[in-house]
Structure 1
């Protein structure tokens, strides 16, 4: 008698081998299966089933087994026609059957007695699209709907937050808000593109490169390059072993027998916007900017006629973005005219009267710092301030000549008297220009090696040159910069690459093998100016508080914003899946290997 442990082990192995057709490999293709019988319900053995891709004309054939079953796996999303033939029966046809991402389409056919020269148009029975092979819940969005939905950054994965059971992005809620599927954190989502994994190997919910909006894949997926988009939110099958959140599956567009293409441009500028409330309050005009996102794609046959037993198709895509305009008005805290002169002004909390204290060893002119200053000694020469019997400056030196030189030469004068504490520090408001440039390219090639073997390969490249607000020169400290004209001297370039390929072959009528490979280069940088000596003879950076916009200096050099960082992640994924149909049983066995070496460098100033 078998022991309990052996029984449990055998049951576990059986469950693994009885996984639904999606298998252990997270595919982004579809599956077509069904039962062929006659009008009495008796199964038809040895019927020839042909699935024809309407876009390319490529036809796959299968023969029903001894249980009348057939199955086509790894079917690229698209529109297909199905024909079933058998000697002694009329030819059955099903036209315009749509296969979507991750879908298992069941097409059962009842053959009528007759000659093969007679054709019967078969209407699909109700429930053909019902997913009876697994209980995965989710929704599929086609390209037409993707293009019609509002989407500011034109990235397909950003629509994740619009899916059922998914938390929307919460402005101001922090980078962990938005994109949580069924209660899991957003860093538990997995992103699949053309069957490969594009999930970031680094940041989790920190979103170093995704701007904290619920996350996305490590490489963008422009809407116009995606054929279909699907999110599985609950009850995922055993293929989804990577994380506990949602499974985002995307399929690229591909070429067909006919050439097809499109071009587009999206334009935004201040011409379509109102001025901000803050700008109106300070009397600042609307900031001029323009934002262009443009691109296009083309696909079709790559070579005339057949090559290596079949046809070759391609689809190429490019998208660019140029954002040379001014982003927004920023405000920095800078020393007032009084503080620059070595005078500190304090307002009595009871009388509201301002008193000026001259810390210099010599009499100094008391300047006005605006309408908030009711100091009665404005315009007079203030004597050295005394604190009891001694000067308020125990060193009796007044403002440091180094500080005085720094403020007079490299820190602009305030233009907002209501900023800072309004007396000793005030605001400097100016428009900050952050010119961004994005370039995205994609190429996909599909080839049919006869009716038994199919290959596809896709490569994507993305360059995002993005200045940041981590370090900003407002004083003309660096070569080429100007006093009072803020300029970003830091950037966060993102340069990922993605390669994916797959080969599907019919080894025997009831045995199909799928091999997939993907490589993701997740590469980004934080490029910083670091610490810069402002004055000769002072071998160090000078700032007066560890604050981004309040350091009272021409260039903030706080540790968190001035250090360089590099991330260079490499994700290699290999997967081989065998699908075997025996009678009414359908088993899938898969082996998956993932190798993810990552190299990071942190430079701290």
Structure 2
């Protein structure tokens, strides 16, 4: 290929990269889903050893990252996967030294000091070590909530981010519609910034201000490897937060298969009644909650086809929540049955025949009352009668009452299904690709006035989604490049409860200009029937917020 062709190909790739950056351009965010292993290699006298070979091997996956010390004996391995490592150092004229048990935390730097002894290269010394407990590479204040705490500490509601209160400089908040229940450093909860695997995980409500409702996607407890809460003195990579920085990691697979299953049950039969209910002799209210799911991860292994040990790993989890609480009730007004038949004989006002109006001797309009205040069937509009037939019959009050005659009982609850799928693949020791999909589907029922009839209400629906693909490439001992493509979305709104409504054929009702099914027209904000002084028939909205 000629130089001109190569130049054109390079220009074409550059143009596509710039075009993609412009098309997908948003606020650039810090990538803090990993950690850094750094330190210095020296001899027994304390003199630095330049040119020493350093290798860090991830114990669970076998992945090895390498570095070479500079003239000051320093080395750095950035973008390292969190977990336990063994780190070795060797140089000509020195025996090999291996430090085991080095645990790397998210968004932390493990600073090591490797001391080599004079000896043959074939000699090896292994020692047990640990990363320093004090973070000396940055002035920011924060705390890592490791997997053991997430797994073992009790959590009401199983929101792992509630453990952020273990970090200093945080205070609890409640009743503000957020799933990140703390504020930090004297700021508001809306000033917190949440990252998941290094990508933005905030609900950008309130005209773009972050975090009005906190976190876009809340992972399951069993899906979180660990997370870090930073509360002060952030570095320049965190540009838009005035509260806390919360950086969490979804688990990845390892060379061993690991799985778990769980179910957490709460039932009113296991609860004590509250003080005020006991004082007023009110029984315990219904409350049933089940949270169940499972998680599984390991190497991708297909018998006789593919063995992904030390190369390809997967992790997946699923969790569901089902909650049913005491129902709410209210008295509504609906037309009594005799009114629907045109019988207003109990009504204390006269009903007139609109077709029998005439001009009196003095020029005034004279109407003729209907006999017995009863409207003949020929005067009743068929469409009106068909619509009124969709309303339930009165079930409360005195027989024939025209007001407060329908007891509406609306059950309350919450349903949520969510999952995570994550794949890690090593193209080589210098190149790793990671892909993850996280998604939830939460529904809070909001029954309408007549659940099961056409006025079935609109449920509050939230469907968060988090997608990321990253490529980490070690170009040289001193240069590492990481490319990340990500999408975070939280689709929320109110959706008409079509599945709970009777399907009504518009042709049978005789309403021209509408679609085939009346309940679909209701959901499209095209139809709502209102009976004066009585309950509405239909719901006026299906209103997705974002």
TM-score of the pair, normalised by structure 1: 0.65
Residue of structure 2 in register with 1:317 after alignment? 317
CA-CA distance at 1:310 after TM superposition: 6.4
Structure 2 CA distance for aligned equivalents of residues 475 and 118 of structure 1 = 78
Residue of structure 2 in register with 1:525 after alignment? 493
Q: Please tell me whether residue 201 in structure 1 is matched to residue 199 in structure 2.
A: no
Distance change >3 Å, CA 203–CA 272, structure 1 → 2 = farther
CA contact (8 A) 1:452 1:505 kept: yes
* Corresponding residue SS for 1:41: coil
State the Cα deviation string for residues 458-516 of structure 1 (Å, max 9, x = none): 1112222x2433x522586538xxxxxxxx63211222222112222221212222222
CA contact (8 A) 1:187 1:205 kept: no
Structure 2 CA distance for aligned equivalents of residues 335 and 440 of structure 1 = 40
* Corresponding residue SS for 1:297: strand
CA contact (8 A) 2:463 2:490 kept: yes
Structure 2 CA distance for aligned equivalents of residues 167 and 70 of structure 1 = 39
Residue of structure 2 in register with 1:463 after alignment? 441
Give the counterpart of 1:497 among 446, 458, 465. Answer: 465
* Corresponding residue SS for 2:530: coil
* Corresponding residue SS for 2:171: coil
CA contact (8 A) 2:458 2:497 kept: yes
Give the counterpart of 2:542 among 553, 558, 564. Answer: 564
Distance change >3 Å, CA 525–CA 462, structure 1 → 2 = same
CA contact (8 A) 1:58 1:451 kept: yes
Q: Please tell me whether residue 446 in structure 1 is matched to residue 424 in structure 2.
A: yes
Give the counterpart of 2:265 among 241, 252, 267. Answer: 267
Distance change >3 Å, CA 235–CA 460, structure 1 → 2 = same
CA contact (8 A) 1:309 1:448 kept: no
Residue of structure 2 in register with 1:389 after alignment? none
CA-CA distance at 1:457 after TM superposition: 1.3
Structure 2 CA distance for aligned equivalents of residues 277 and 40 of structure 1 = 71
Structure 2 CA distance for aligned equivalents of residues 109 and 119 of structure 1 = 13
Distance change >3 Å, CA 453–CA 289, structure 1 → 2 = same
Structure 2 CA distance for aligned equivalents of residues 313 and 539 of structure 1 = 54
Distance change >3 Å, CA 309–CA 298, structure 1 → 2 = closer
State the Cα deviation string for residues 238-297 of structure 1 (Å, max 9, x = none): 111132221111111111111111111111222212456777688765444532211111
Residue of structure 1 in register with 2:232 after alignment? 234
State the Cα deviation string for residues 152-186 of structure 1 (Å, max 9, x = none): 22122333355432231234x67799532212222
Residue of structure 1 in register with 2:292 after alignment? 294
State the Cα deviation string for residues 33-92 of structure 1 (Å, max 9, x = none): 001111222110111111010101111111111111111111111111111111211211
CA contact (8 A) 2:300 2:307 kept: no
Give the counterpart of 1:64 among 51, 55, 69. Answer: 69
| Structure 2: unaligned runs, 5 residues or longer | 1-27, 340-345, 351-372, 376-383, 512-526
Distance change >3 Å, CA 410–CA 165, structure 1 → 2 = farther
Superposed, 1:143-292 pairs within 5 Å as: 143-161=147-165, 163-171=167-175, 178-203=181-206, 215-275=213-273, 286-292=284-290
Structure 1 CA distance for aligned equivalents of residues 271 and 61 of structure 2 = 46
Distance change >3 Å, CA 414–CA 197, structure 1 → 2 = farther
Q: CA RMSD in A?
A: 4.5
Residue of structure 2 in register with 1:328 after alignment? 326
State the Cα deviation string for residues 162-214 of structure 1 (Å, max 9, x = none): 5432231234x67799532212222221111111111112248999xx9xxx8
Deviates more, 1:98-107 or 1:129-138: 129-138
CA contact (8 A) 1:232 1:248 kept: yes
| Structure 1: unaligned runs, 5 residues or longer | 1-22, 342-357, 363-398, 416-423, 480-487, 545-551, 569-605
Residue of structure 1 in register with 2:448 after alignment? 472
Give the counterpart of 1:553 among 515, 535, 539. Answer: 535
* Corresponding residue SS for 1:66: coil
Structure 2 CA distance for aligned equivalents of residues 124 and 176 of structure 1 = 38
Distance change >3 Å, CA 176–CA 428, structure 1 → 2 = farther
Distance change >3 Å, CA 241–CA 475, structure 1 → 2 = closer
Deviates more, 1:31-40 or 1:266-275: 266-275
State the Cα deviation string for residues 201-236 of structure 1 (Å, max 9, x = none): 2248999xx9xxx84321221110010011111111
Give the counterpart of 1:360 among 348, 355, 358. Answer: 348
Distance change >3 Å, CA 566–CA 43, structure 1 → 2 = same
Residue of structure 2 in register with 1:516 after alignment? 484
Structure 2 CA distance for aligned equivalents of residues 335 and 321 of structure 1 = 35
CA-CA distance at 1:26 after TM superposition: 3.3
Superposed, 1:67-146 pairs within 5 Å as: 67-122=72-127, 124=129, 128-146=132-150
- The number of equivalent residue pairs is 459
TM-score of the pair, normalised by structure 2: 0.72
* Corresponding residue SS for 1:494: strand
Structure 2 CA distance for aligned equivalents of residues 166 and 196 of structure 1 = 23
Distance change >3 Å, CA 86–CA 492, structure 1 → 2 = same
CA contact (8 A) 1:412 1:475 kept: no
* Corresponding residue SS for 1:473: coil
CA contact (8 A) 2:299 2:309 kept: no
Q: Please tell me whether residue 413 in structure 1 is matched to residue 396 in structure 2.
A: yes
Structure 1 CA distance for aligned equivalents of residues 234 and 329 of structure 2 = 49
Distance change >3 Å, CA 476–CA 301, structure 1 → 2 = closer
CA contact (8 A) 1:227 1:253 kept: yes
